[in-house]
Structure 1
Amino acid sequence: MTQNVTSFPNPPITEALLDIRVNLPKEITLDTLATFQGEIKERFPTKKEKYKWEGGVQFQAGGAPKIIPSSSGTIGYLFHAADGKKIVQARLDGYTFNKLKPYTNWEEFHSEAKELWEIYLKIAKPVNVTRVALRYINRIEIPLPFKDFKEYILTVPEIGDNIPSALSGFFTRLIIPNPDIQADAVITETMEKIDDKAKVLPFIFDIDVSRKYVFEPQSDEIWQTLNKLREFKNQIFLNSMTEKAKELFK
């Protein structure tokens, strides 16, 4: 992977997330996490509860599937910036920094995420880190009309010969491992409703790259790994876009 990454004046990123999963000491509670806001209230004045929903189906040999009732509970808090463009999450299972459009650059995003992580470290005192991840959700407005997605996007669903080629919707999920950095990328693609007025097709290209590994919470290896994940993400994005698509981001 190359270190030289093309940057675009008008990137299609609608949301970028940096996520760090942890194990916390038993004595750390929701009340502990609520004190996080005291350190950031001027920048993130709004606090909301973060919920986790669980449920499922249990299959039994020789019997009907058993529905496991859904349950929910508060697992942490979301702190929103006044303009709604940034969110920091302090949870019992980890920390996340969300940056909504406009996205400026990696250096600014990384720097603020790390600063807020240091506050989470001080308050939550994690025992260890178990997973680190980056997720970039891109919304690419493809001008209409066009004949083939591959005029713009190279990583797309294929339709076999002798099948009507009109497409009103799709949902594709690809999992791509990278053994060199012991990471995985989950690429999710879909399309939103065509905007007839703007004459564009909104194409969602969602890249979630992660590595499961046990890190020391204070270790620089966490941030070195996140840099490698960013390179992996960029490799996927840049090699999935045609030159025609890249022109849309300039």
Structure 2
Amino acid sequence: MAEHSGRADHAFPPPQREGLYRAIHERRDVRAQFLPDPVPPEVLARLLDAAHHAPSVGFMQPWDFLVIDSREVRRRVHRLFLRENERGAQQFSAERQQAYRRLKLEGILESPLNLCITCDRSRGDGPVLGRTSIVDTDLFSTCLAVQNLWLAARAEGIGVGWVSILDQQELATILDLPEQVYPLAYLCLGYVSEFLQQPELARSGWRQRLPLTELVHGNGWRQALADEALHEALQEVARPCQP
């Protein structure tokens, strides 16, 4: 009987690993590349199932999914975005405002489908295991559901754009959410003409990806890594990510 190494027995085969890392590195926040083609129900079901299999603290599963195909609802959300986007622009310097206004920051009406992932802050019976010290773990858990959906969407060739420039209270009113349900992520979904080589904000010069080697610390903040081999490995994996 072959001896198990304890290192690779549970690893995915190389093509599957490569597919996962490809989805991570090629995932994009899509705003301007949406096509009108509808998302097939079976594909959307797979994406929602992937989101529902996200980890959650205390297994509370605080998420719900609002599938929004109503043009009227989307128009109301879009009007809310336009107002909040103008408010957002005014918070930057005059020069930065010009760059800001050139950016397209949503695809609410262009995408064939919108999806709101919510967090029910009352979910769970009594105290939730693991949430007794950090009450926001329900929000953190819902973010993991968003990420699951986003990576699955990339694997399916579906673009996703997160619209964060919204007043959450007014969005909750538009979507008729109960008081304890928070609209955590408003997403635009659809097939796209392309996935950009770089994130939109990096390509436009708004911000660039920070070097990974500057973000990994040793046993305390800003302490050097004791493992020189890890430092070299970090430099090696970071090279393909450089613009």
Give the TM-score category using the shorter length: under 0.3
TM-score (norm 2): 0.25
Larger relative contact order (CA 8 Å, sep ≥ 6): 2
Choose between structure 1 and 2: higher strand proportion: 1
The answer to which structure has the higher helix fraction is 2
